[in-house]
A and B are shown apart, each in its own frame.
Chain A
């Protein structure tokens, strides 16, 4: 070994220095590649081993605490001592980080799966064990994905005093973070939480709108807020979202605002309002829809003819007859089917001509 460092290595290095520069570069690259491969192999072995170990440990701990928690929630009032002992045991356990993560995860999962009194028990336990402190700590983290985990935990456990912190995140530059904050506003504060729409600077994606609507649909026993202001928002996506809420809550009294939106500069707003007008069968919209039909793009024309088809009356037959030869197949098919419904006999005669 001593020989290697004292004679062989220096000789090899001297020989290396005599090689042309290109070969020297290549052998440096080779050395780097070998180091990289060996490092990757070690890393791969370590992560596979660690994963296996972690999996086994977590499985054992999960089984242990799951049993304790399930026993706890089914304890009766006569078993108060056992309740106190279990709580003591859990309080001691949460001092350890990995145990705490598992206990918190289990409480959240069980809370999600259960309802009524049992879910309330778990919620109370979450507060008793002071787990809320850890969730809020996560929520204040500077790392976005830890922040989201914290937000989710406080939302699920209905920690209501996070309004100001959540509202601050509504216009965060990280899309996932602001989406999560928006969902939290609705989940915790219901229609009141929709106030974030007043100050929202970023567009709400279609995906996010579907998520929000899903949450909004679950709101019970509350008066639907006035949607007018959002129909006049400077943020186009807020208008589209408000239009969907109009449809969802049958706010047909807002028809005049909706008709005005048919002439909105944003094509997306125009299309959404057109489809909502069709959905509500608002006959007053027909004139303006027919007026803008010709000037609109083929895609918007499709929305218009779909809406007009929903609003169709016999006096509209000439309009649909004109569209039966429209170059867009989807449009001419809607025209054809509408005519078939309006006056099948007339259609046959015209087609035969």
Chain B
């Protein structure tokens, strides 16, 4: 009997302290992010990107875009990538053994022919079938690598082996970049003199329902479906209130796989992408950071809050569940692989703050939350709930969730104002009110499924997303 009481007390205080720390950390990160975003916004309103566009000293960039069964939009996507505003860049499309007509379409439309080209064999990849360049000088920036299917990470590694540029921008081929995306992502690499910037990440914005013509974003619209609006709010919170703070603290552990720029040599020296994980975007950042720490080199991972990359978000729960499931598995795989970092003072901030935070608040949070809910259910079952306490906690958590979403909406409003139309803010506010009881529970379920799939060895599946094509919106 006494041990049961102690267990209850332990669980009670555990959840109390856990929740208090979660709320405190969100507040701290939110405040840092808001200041950082506004400061970035103000500083960059003075920056002129004109010089970098034509300078003979502008560094070279390779855009690496893996493509798998993207035949529907591949031609338009490539055209969009080739119309970016920068002087010294090439577009490397890596056809990862598509089963559709992607490669045939590219060959036909861009007048491609096979060329012989030396490829760095340092990172092992699946076999390269051929390398193509256009016979038409208009498309001289374009390179197409055709290879056996090996997954996204393997395709990126093939691109990395091929490239000899100073920097590589790894993107999802279906993403739409704004014309100034490369200049803005490159800037942090060139403006630090005290530390080596090894990677920059950008905000990912949701393009569902936006008007896109010829691969260019013409008009930003609030999506019609609730599931898409949930994701808008979620992305705003995550990018504007989370990652900006981690960037300020130089503790970023992830750069979205949809769009990131890297120092090519550091990336290769760190070993390139891991093909055995579905969370390759997080894993490469952790590994590059570890590599720099091991070599005792000062480094930084920068983050750009400008809306530079627009992508199609899942518009149905089945696809969304697969995506979240994969994110959960990717996080588990990365954290397990690099478990040596945990509370390891040798790795400084990475080992003592970033990794433990990620482990507790990203990896374990869904599990703790479910245990909490089960504990509450059990207390109800044995009629041991103090309703005043329980309701008070629920109200605090609910109101905190709304406050945090409000802060994200305000931060967006004070900086980039991508949704200025009448009624848009109201729609996001409605989402903020209902999300804790709806979408949050769904993401919790998806994360748990990810855990379950990981431990039942359903690891290799990526989950396919059926694309509608952004231009069709």
Instruction: Tell me the nearest residue of chain B to A38, going by C-beta.
Output: B406
Asked whether A34 is an interface residue with its Cβ less than 8 Å from the other chain, the reply is yes
- Contacts between the two chains (Cβ within 8 Å), count: 96
CB-defined contacts of B395 to chain A, threshold 8 Å: 30
Q: Is the interface of A mostly helix, strand, loop or mixed?
A: helix
Asked whether A40 is an interface residue with its Cβ less than 8 Å from the other chain, the reply is yes
Q: A208-236 vs B: 1/0 string, CB under 8 Å?
A: 11110111000000000000000000000
Known contacts A44-B409, A211-B51, A33 near B193 by CB under 8 Å: no
Known contacts A30-B392, A37-B406, A44-B425, A207 near B193 by CB under 8 Å: no
Q: A296-307 vs B: 1/0 string, CB under 8 Å?
A: 000100000000
CB-defined contacts of B58 to chain A, threshold 8 Å: 210
Q: Which residues of A contact B (CB under 8 A)?
A: 19, 22-23, 26-27, 29-30, 33-34, 36-37, 40-41, 43-44, 47-48, 51, 145, 148, 152, 176, 180, 203, 205-211, 213-215, 237, 244, 299, 329-330, 333, 336
CB-defined contacts of B414 to chain A, threshold 8 Å: 47
Least Cβ–Cβ distance between B323 and chain A, in angstroms: 30
How distant is the Cα of A214 from the Cα of B48 in the complex, in angstroms?
Answer: 11
Contact between chains at A27 and B190 (CB < 8 Å): no
User: Which of B19-73 touch A at CB < 8 Å?
Assistant: 42-43, 45-46, 48, 50-52, 54-55, 57-58
Least Cβ–Cβ distance between A119 and chain B, in angstroms: 18
CB-defined contacts of B51 to chain A, threshold 8 Å: 210-211, 213-215
Instruction: Tell me the nearest residue of chain B to A149, going by C-beta.
Output: B46
How distant is the Cα of A237 from the Cα of B58 in the complex, in angstroms?
Answer: 17
Contact between chains at A40 and B57 (CB < 8 Å): no
CB-defined contacts of A244 to chain B, threshold 8 Å: 57
How distant is the Cα of A215 from the Cα of B43 in the complex, in angstroms?
Answer: 21
Contact between chains at B48 and A211 (CB < 8 Å): yes
Asked whether B8 is an interface residue with its Cβ less than 8 Å from the other chain, the reply is no
Contact between chains at A180 and B46 (CB < 8 Å): yes
CB-defined contacts of B137 to chain A, threshold 8 Å: none
Known: A51-B420, A206-B57. 9 other contacts (CB 8 A): A26-B396, A34-B399, A44-B410, A47-B414, A145-B46, A211-B48, A214-B50, A214-B55, A333-B164
Q: Which of B57, B189, B403 contacts A213 (CB 8 A)?
A: B57
Residue pairs across A and B with Cβ atoms less than 8 A apart, 22 shown, are A19-B388, A23-B388, A26-B389, A30-B396, A30-B399, A33-B396, A36-B406, A37-B402, A37-B406, A41-B406, A44-B409, A48-B420, A48-B425, A51-B417, A176-B46, A205-B190, A207-B190, A207-B191, A210-B51, A210-B58, A214-B50, A299-B265
Q: Which residues of B contact A (CB under 8 A)?
A: 42-43, 45-46, 48, 50-52, 54-55, 57-58, 118, 120-122, 164, 187, 189-193, 265, 388-389, 392-393, 395-396, 399-400, 402-403, 406-407, 409-410, 413-414, 417, 420, 425, 429
CB-defined contacts of B187 to chain A, threshold 8 Å: 207
CB-defined contacts of A37 to chain B, threshold 8 Å: 399, 402-403, 406
Known contacts A30-B399, A33-B399, A40 near B406 by CB under 8 Å: yes
Q: Which of B118, B389, B413 contacts A47 (CB 8 A)?
A: B413
How distant is the Cα of A26 from the Cα of B402 in the complex, in angstroms?
Answer: 16
CB-defined contacts of B192 to chain A, threshold 8 Å: 205
CB-defined contacts of B122 to chain A, threshold 8 Å: 329
How distant is the Cα of A43 from the Cα of B118 in the complex, in angstroms?
Answer: 59
How distant is the Cα of A48 from the Cα of B423 in the complex, in angstroms?
Answer: 11
How distant is the Cα of A36 from the Cα of B399 in the complex, in angstroms?
Answer: 10
Instruction: Tell me the nearest residue of chain A to B395, going by C-beta.
Output: A30
Least Cβ–Cβ distance between A200 and chain B, in angstroms: 12
CB-defined contacts of A330 to chain B, threshold 8 Å: 120, 164
